[in-house]
């Protein structure tokens, strides 16, 4: 296999619990696209230190280099706060497993955030004297947050909510 250079600006960040699923999928896709063997090293941990003969020493060295590259790619993809808590792991598989465990084990904040976003959407209303542009901006922020939190809501439901939130005094068409 030829070593290929991987651009670090193409590696998505593993952000945290609130974006865990999206981040995980994008990170996996980027690493796997750039170098499938790195992804294998991360998920299967193909580096195992051992006492070696000359031929197996060469193979072990290549595997160690691949795992070091995978470990570096993981570190690049992590926020500083996450990296400092799991930086003690010495193989890419161990570090990746620690990240996944960290994100999976803390589902309560995600559930709380989803509930809060649902409540924000339910309470969304047009404010007296508010311009349509402002209403749409506030609504778009809530919708984007909901979609980022992997909540499923149809466009029909969103449109219905937006239209029902408009004030009875607010007219789309000028009176003639």
Tens digits of pLDDT across the chain (176 residues): 444 444 444 555 565 555 666 677 777 777 777 778 877 888 887 655 555 555 677 877 888 888 888 888 888 877 777 778 888 888 888 888 888 887 776 555 667 778 888 899 999 988 878 888 888 889 988 888 888 777 888 999 998 888 888 766 555 555 55
Q: Residue 42's CB: how many other CB atoms inside 10 A?
A: 28
My answer on whether 29 and 87 are in the same domain is yes
33 occurs within a structural domain: yes
Question: What torsion, rounded to 10 degrees, do the Cα atoms 120, 123, 126, 129 define?
Answer: -90
Q: DSSP for 128-174?
A: TT--HHHHHHHHHHHHHHHHHTT----HHHHHHHHHHHS-TT--SS-
Boundary (domain end) residue, out of 65, 89, 105: 105
My answer on whether 101 and 159 are in the same domain is no
Report pTM.
0.47
Output the pLDDT for position 8. 47
171 occurs within a structural domain: no
176 occurs within a structural domain: no
Return the closest-CA partner of residue 37 out of 55, 63, 7. Answer: 63
What are 89's two structure tokens? 């792991």
**CA dist., res. 77 & res. 161, Å (int):** 37
My answer on whether 49 and 80 are in the same domain is yes
My answer on whether 85 and 126 are in the same domain is no
My answer on whether 79 and 90 are in the same domain is yes
Q: Helix, strand or coil for residue 125?
A: coil
My answer on whether 39 and 114 are in the same domain is no
My answer on whether 83 and 69 are in the same domain is yes
Number of helices (H), then strands (E), belonging to the chain: the values are 8, 0
**CA dist., res. 69 & res. 72, Å (int):** 5
My answer on whether 69 and 14 are in the same domain is yes
Output the pLDDT for position 156. 92
My answer on whether 126 and 148 are in the same domain is yes
**Total domains in the fold of the chain:** 2
Domain of 82 in residue numbering reads as: 8-105
Output the pLDDT for position 90. 85
Partners of 78 in the beta sheet?
14
Please list, residue by residue across 7-35, b when 16 or more beta carbons sit within 10 angstroms of its beta carbon and e when fewer do: eeeebbebbbbbbbeebbebbbebbeebb
68 occurs within a structural domain: yes
170 occurs within a structural domain: no
Q: Helix, strand or coil for residue 16?
A: coil
């Amino acid at each position: 296999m030829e070593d290929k250079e991987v651009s670090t600006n193409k590696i998505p960040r593993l952000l945290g619990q609130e974006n865990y699923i999206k981040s995980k999928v994008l990170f996996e896709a980027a690493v796997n696209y750039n170098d499938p063997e790195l992804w294998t090293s991360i998920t299967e941990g193909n580096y195992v230190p051992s006492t070696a003969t000359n031929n197996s020493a060469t193979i072990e060295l290549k595997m160690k280099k691949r795992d070091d590259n995978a470990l570096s790619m993981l570190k690049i993809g992590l926020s500083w706060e996450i990296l400092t808590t799991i930086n003690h792991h010495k193989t890419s598989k161990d570090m990746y497993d620690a990240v996944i465990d960290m994100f999976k084990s803390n589902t309560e904040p995600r559930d709380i955030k989803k509930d809060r976003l649902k409540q924000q959407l339910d309470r969304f209303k047009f404010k007296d004297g508010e311009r349509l542009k402002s209403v749409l901006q506030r609504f778009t922020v809530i919708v984007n947050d909901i979609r980022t939190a992997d909540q499923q809501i149809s466009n029909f439901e969103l449109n219905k909510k937006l239209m029902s939130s408009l004030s009875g005094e607010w007219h789309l068409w000028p009176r003639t």
